[in-house]
Each structure stands twice: as structure tokens, then as C-alpha cells.
Amino acid sequence: MTLPEWMALAAALLITRWIMAALRRRYGRFFRHPTAGWATALLVFLSVLAVAAPLVAPFPYWLQIDIVRLKNHPPSWTYLLGTDLYSRDVWSRLIYGARISLAIGALGMLVALTVGTVVGAVAGYYRRWVDAVLMRGVDIGLALPRIFILLMAIALWERLPIGVLVLVIGLTSWFGTSRLVRAEVLSLRERDFVSAARAVGAGPARVIFAHVLPNAAAPIIVSAALGVGNVLLLEAGLSFLGIGLPPPQPSWGNMIADGQHTLLHAPWTTLFPGLAIALVVMALNSVADALRDALDPREEST
Amino acid sequence: MAWLVRRIAASIAIVFAVVTITFFLIRLAHGKPFIPGGDQAVDPAVIAVLEEQYGADKPSHIQYIAFLRQLTRGNLGQSFALQRPVADALAEAIPNTLILTGAALLLDFLLGLGLGVYQALRVNRLPDVVLGNTTLFIYSFPTFWLGLILLLVFGEWLHWFPIGGKTDPVLCPAVDSFRCTLDLMHHLVLPALTLGVVGAAGTARFQRAAMLEVARQDFIRTARAKGAPERRVVLRHQLRNALLTFITRFGLAFPFLLTGAVLTETIFAWPGMGRIATEAILRRDYPVVTAVALVASAMVVAGNLVADLLLAAADPRLRSASADVT
């Protein structure tokens, strides 16, 4: 494994640990939220479907079942969500598409979260010129018309590898997170336990990662849940403009994009992938909401 | 005043940085301008002549200096693909985008504010719960998908609204300007709904939270305690303070609207900036790309600046404090 892969793995483990710890401590409060339980169940269900795609999908995603007779077939018992222009089963493609879309969403968010957290923490911890330089960079990042920058960054490659797509999306999505983390770190670094850690000789890295950041976990986790949804929507938008994975490979975004040409004759090819995106993003927003309530020690209820 | 000057200077610096990044990034992209897509082959000699004519054969940093020199004279250069000055193309497209985003913003804020305040007044009762779930659902829609669905239902099935374009190409130049404006409005409904409804759902959620946040504070209790009528408490004390957070959202809405506009303009064939930009990037029309980045980032920065100014004007607590911030 290469260094970035190790770092991604370490970050994933760390974040999972935080979430687990937070859930264990507060799961009661988390599930008090009216829709959080359903949302979590939906996300788990879709993740299982995505992972087990070859087992649960009735047809392979590329299979043109019968291009003459089964083209644009409306939903039926055999073809649950109908078939598309090439007589491919929409339900199967949706399941395979979940793999790509959810993976891009989760990994893109992870990149954004890691970069945003590190930049925000460093800026907030060192303050002075480090803070000034980093935050002016963030100001520029927030003023970049993101969809144009993505289109341009993606134009750097002739054939776009999926890893690059994830990286590019992640690297243009961290600006908001870094502001959030910086604000949190700025207030935490003045606390007694941080001075205590410094007094016993802990280095900056240890103070930041072992003492400051764990206490800023709540807003970071909430923004992570929202981040997945945002990346998902962004990926869909890019696919819609024709930038994304090569043809037979389905993602929810490019399914919508392909469907628009047969919108009138086969609306189901457009309708269902969009609904899938909306449901996942909604579930993620619910989870973020519930996490915010559960992790916020300040207030009891809203 | 010094604060304002510094803010404006910082804003200009940000726009400058964005333009510079864009300028070099688009030139790093694979593929060259003047080469049409598909299987049309063009004589390399022709391309070389074209590149020389437009100055695209020189190294990037030389082009950059030339670009800056022209920019100081207010010249944005000549488009490679459109065979006209970039400024002309943008002057035509920007008003269209502003009409679309303006209508969407209006819908977003009016509907969003209304719903948010209404929900906050009925908090945790049936209307609030129903609206809360509805706005959460709509807020999660991909805008372009909603656009396609609206297009299908109201354009193709019900035929209530035209399916694309800004005005009817046959009708409009022939009739008087009043009927033309009506036609424009008719064409505007679906794209503006697409952009505005998703935004309104977000605004409603935001505004409800802001209202509830304010409701918890001491001065609301004081207002009630001194016997102010409920109407007055809600409108004068609660809503006014909740609007302060709303102003910040106004500034943040710009980038969202621009991004949304790119996709919405594509779906509804709306002749705006988003479509020009997408085309230009795909065709490597360098001058247009750079100019669009300039305009778009200026709009974002100006939006933030206006929001900050409005906030300072609306909140007396910030007026003295703003001198120290930034």
C-alpha cells in the first residue's frame, strides 16, 4: 500500500472509532430523533445491497436483455423498476450504481474531512501567520466557482480514473469543514486541559490529535454526515454534464443523465435513480440532525 | 470605514487569485483549442495559424502577462470558438443568468422565510412535523433531477409551460415588448421553480432553527414578562433577531445558485452564463473560461460583502465590533 492509502485507512479507522464511541455513549439520545432510526436502517440496507450487488441484482448491470422487445419496458414484476433504452434492468443497475455512488460519496467525504480537519486544526492551533495564510487560502477556495473548477480539474485527464474523481471532489469540498474545525480549535486551545498537556511536555502534534481534536469530534462528525450527501449530489451533477465513469458502468448520476433522453417514453429510467439519491441524502441529513442533538451536551431538546 | 476598505481589498485579491488559478488550470487541460471534436480532421498548419492569430502559441506566463495588460484596459479578449469578443458574449448571457437566479432567490427567500416562521410558530405540532419532513425531502433532491421531473410533468404531460429556451423564437421578435415579457415569464417559471424550490426548502429549515434559537433567549422572556402582546413578541423581537442569521445565508446562497444555474440552464436551454462556461471548458475556449471565473468569483465575493454590510447595518451590536474583526 502507498502512503496516501495508509493515511486514508488510518483516518477511516480513527473516524469510525470516534463515531462508535460517541454512539455507545449516546445511542439512546441518537435514536430519540424521530427519523434517525429509519434513516440508519435505510443506509445500512443500501450499503448491504451495494456490497452484495452481484448476489442480489437479478441481472448484470451491462446485460441488454432483449434490445428489440424489452426496450423501455415499464416496471413489472420481472423488471421491478422497468428497463432502459438498451433493455437493461433499471433495478439491477440501481443496485450496482449504489456501489459507485456510495463509494464516491464516502471516500470523497473522507478526503475532504481529513484535509479540512488538518488544515483547520493547524490554523487554529498555531494562529498568527499560519492561520492567516491558511484561512486566506480557504477564502479563495470558497470563492472558486466549484463546478467550473471541477470541470477543469477533470479535463486534466484524458480518461478519468475513479480515484482521481474522488480526490478532485474531496479536495474541492473541504473549505467549509476547515473553518468549522478552526473555530472549534481556537476555543479549545485556551482550555486548562490543553495547557496541562502542553505543560507536561506534549508536542504540538500530540496536543492537536490526542487532546484538542477528540473534543471537537461532535461538529466534525456532523459535517461528515452532511458531507457524504453533498459529494453524492456533486457527483450526480458532474455525471449529468457527462463527466464521470465510462458508459456501461452505472452511477446514479449517469443513470439520470442517460434517462433524460428517453424522459418522455421511459420516465422510470430518470425517476428512480433520482429518488435513490434524494432518499440517501435525506437519510444522511436526518442522521446528521440526530447526531447533532445527541452529541451536543449543551441542550436537552429542541 | 477602514474596515470596509480592507474588506474590499481582500475581495479583489480573492477574485484575482481565482482568475489566476483558472487561467493556468484550463491551459493545463489535455486537448487544445481549435480542434473540433469528433472525426473531423483539421490541417495542423491551419491550427498553427489560428493559434498564432489568437496568441495561444506562446508560453502560458507570457499569455498571462498579455491577459493582465488587456484586463487593465477592460478588455477580456476574443473568444476562440464564438468568433466574437468575450465581453459581448458575457454581456448577453449575464442578464439571463441574473434573471433566472434573481427569480429563484426571490422564490427561495419568500417561500423559505414564510414556511420557516410558520413552522417555528407551530413547533412540534402537526403542520410543523409535516412541513419539516417535506422540506427535508425536497432539500435532498438533486436540482437537475427535479428540473427533469418538472419538465416532464408540466412541460410534456400537462403542456402548461414551454420546455426550454428563454422566449419563443417565432413569437417574440414579432410582437410588442409587453407580450415578449409575458412570454419570458412563462419560460422562466420551470427553471426558477427548479432552482428556487430546493433552496426554499433549505431556507425554511434554516429559518425555523434560527427562530427557535432566538426563542430560547432571555430577551424574549423579558418581552413576554413585561406584557408585550404575543404578536409583537414574535414579529418585533423574535423574527427581527432571527433575520440576522438569515442575512448570512443570503451571502452564502450565491455559489449554490451559480452551481445550480449551470445544470438548470443546461436542462432548460436557458442562454445564460452557466451554459457558456460549460461549453467553453469542454471546447478549451481559454478566454471565455477565464472571464467566466472572473465574473462568477466576483459575484460570490460581492454577495458575501453585501451580506456583511447588511448585517452590520441591521445589527447595532456588530457595528462597533466589526472594526476589530478581520
Provide the grid cell at A188: 479549545
Chain B within 8 Å of A171 (Cβ-Cβ)?
Answer: no
Q: Does any domain span residue B205?
A: yes
Name the residue of chain B whose CA is nearest to A151's CA: B281
Q: Does any domain span residue B274?
A: yes
Q: Does any domain span residue B175?
A: yes
CA angle B245–B248–B254, rounded 5-degree value: 145
The amino acid at residue A89 is D
Q: Shortest CA distance to A117 belongs to which of A216, A6, A206?
A: A216
Average pLDDT over residues B228-253: 76
Cβ-Cβ contacts under 8 Å, B21 against chain A: 140, 144, 149
Check pLDDT > 80 for residue A158: no
In our burial notation (b when 16+ CB lie closer than 10 A, e otherwise), range B156-170 reads eeeeebbbeebbbee
d(CA A242, CA A269): 17
Domain count, chain A: 1
Torsions phi, psi of A119, nearest 5? -60, -45
Q: Shortest CA distance to B207 belongs to which of B234, B239, B161, B183?
A: B239
CA distances from A10 to A4, A110, A190, A241, A296 (A): 10, 11, 28, 34, 26
pLDDT band at residue A302, thresholds of 50, 70 and 90?
A: very low
Local structure of residue A75 (DSSP, 8 states): P
Average pLDDT over residues A185-191: 81
CB contact under 8 A, B14 and A143: yes
Q: What is the CATH number of the domain that holds B288?
A: 1.10.3720.10
- Highest mean pLDDT range out of A66-80, A84-98, A287-301? A84-98
Choose from B123, B140, B206 for mutation: most chain A CBs within 10 A: B140
Chain B within 8 Å of A190 (Cβ-Cβ)?
Answer: no
Q: What is the pLDDT of residue B38?
A: 52
CB of A113 closer than 8 Å to CB of A219: no
Domain count, chain B: 1
Provide the grid cell at A187: 476555543
Which residue from B29, B148, B266 is facing A156, i.e. has the nearest CB?
B29
| Rg from Cα positions in chain A | 22
Q: What is the pLDDT of residue B322?
A: 46
d(CA A203, CA A197): 9
Check pLDDT > 80 for residue A200: yes
Check pLDDT > 70 for residue A4: no
Instruction: Tell me the shortest Cα–Cα distance from B304 to chain A, in angstroms.
Output: 10
Cβ-Cβ contacts under 8 Å, A256 against chain B: 142, 144-145, 148
Q: What is the pLDDT of residue B175?
A: 67
Name the residue of chain B whose CA is nearest to A257's CA: B145
CB of A213 closer than 8 Å to CB of A114: no
Name the residue of chain B whose CA is nearest to A132's CA: B326
Q: What is the pLDDT of residue B318?
A: 63
- Residue length, chain A? 302
CA distances from A197 to A14, A33, A121, A209 (A): 21, 36, 16, 12
Q: Which residue has the higher pLDDT, A215 or B190?
A: B190
Q: Does any domain span residue B16?
A: no
Cβ-Cβ contacts under 8 Å, B133 against chain A: 35
Cβ-Cβ contacts under 8 Å, B32 against chain A: none
Instruction: Tell me the shortest Cα–Cα distance from A210 to chain B, in angstroms.
Output: 30
Chain B within 8 Å of A133 (Cβ-Cβ)?
Answer: no
Q: Does any domain span residue B65?
A: no
Q: pTM (2 decimals)? A: 0.81
Q: What is the CATH number of the domain that holds A175?
A: 1.10.3720.10
Choose from B145, B217, B285, B326 for mutation: most chain A CBs within 10 A: B145
CB neighbours of residue A69 within 10 Å? 8
Q: Does any domain span residue B8?
A: no
- Residue length, chain B? 326
* Average pLDDT value over all residues in chain A: 78
CB contact under 8 A, A285 and B292: no
Q: What is the pLDDT of residue B324?
A: 43
Provide the grid cell at B88: 459581448
Query: Hey, which residues does A63 pair with through a beta bridge?
Result: none
State the SS3 of chain B. Answer: CHHHHHHHHHHHHHHHHHHHHHHHHHHHCCCCCCCCCCCCCCCHHHHHHHHHHHCCCCCHHHHHHHHHHHHHCCCCCECCCCCCEHHHHHHHHHHHHHHHHHHHHHHHHHHHHHHHHHHHHCCCCHHHHHHHHHHHHHHCCCHHHHHHHHHHHHHHHCCCCCCCCCCCCCHHHHCCHHHHHHHHHHHHHHHHHHHHHHHHHHHHHHHHHHHHHHHCCHHHHHHHHCCCCHHHHHHHHHHHHHHHHHHHHHHHHHHHHHHHHHHHHHHCCCCCHHHHHHHHHHCCCHHHHHHHHHHHHHHHHHHHHHHHHHHHHHCHHHHHHCCCCC
Q: What is the pLDDT of residue A170?
A: 87
Torsions phi, psi of A217, nearest 5? -60, -40
Render pLDDT for B80-90 as a digit per residue (tens, 0 to 9).
777 788 888 88
CB contact under 8 A, B136 and A282: yes
Check pLDDT > 50 for residue B113: yes
Q: Does any domain span residue B203?
A: yes
Render pLDDT for A237-249 as a digit per residue (tens, 0 to 9).
888 877 777 777 8
ipTM of the complex: 0.79
Range of the domain at B184: 86-325
* Average pLDDT value over all residues in chain B: 79
Give the helix, strand, coil percentages of chain A, each rounded to 5: 70, 0, 25
d(CA A204, CA A196): 13
Check pLDDT > 70 for residue A125: yes
Chain B within 8 Å of A106 (Cβ-Cβ)?
Answer: no
Q: Shortest CA distance to A57 belongs to which of A27, A93, A83?
A: A93
Q: Shortest CA distance to A101 belongs to which of A160, A165, A42, A58?
A: A165
Instruction: Tell me the shortest Cα–Cα distance from A290 to chain B, in angstroms.
Output: 13
Q: What is the pLDDT of residue B325?
A: 43
Range of the domain at A66: 3-299
pLDDT band at residue A2, thresholds of 50, 70 and 90?
A: low
Residues 6+ apart with CB under 8 A from B54: B33, B78, B80
Render pLDDT for B126-172 as a digit per residue (tens, 0 to 9).
888 888 888 888 888 888 889 888 888 888 888 887 877 777 766 67
Query: Hey, which residues does B85 pair with through a beta bridge?
Result: B78
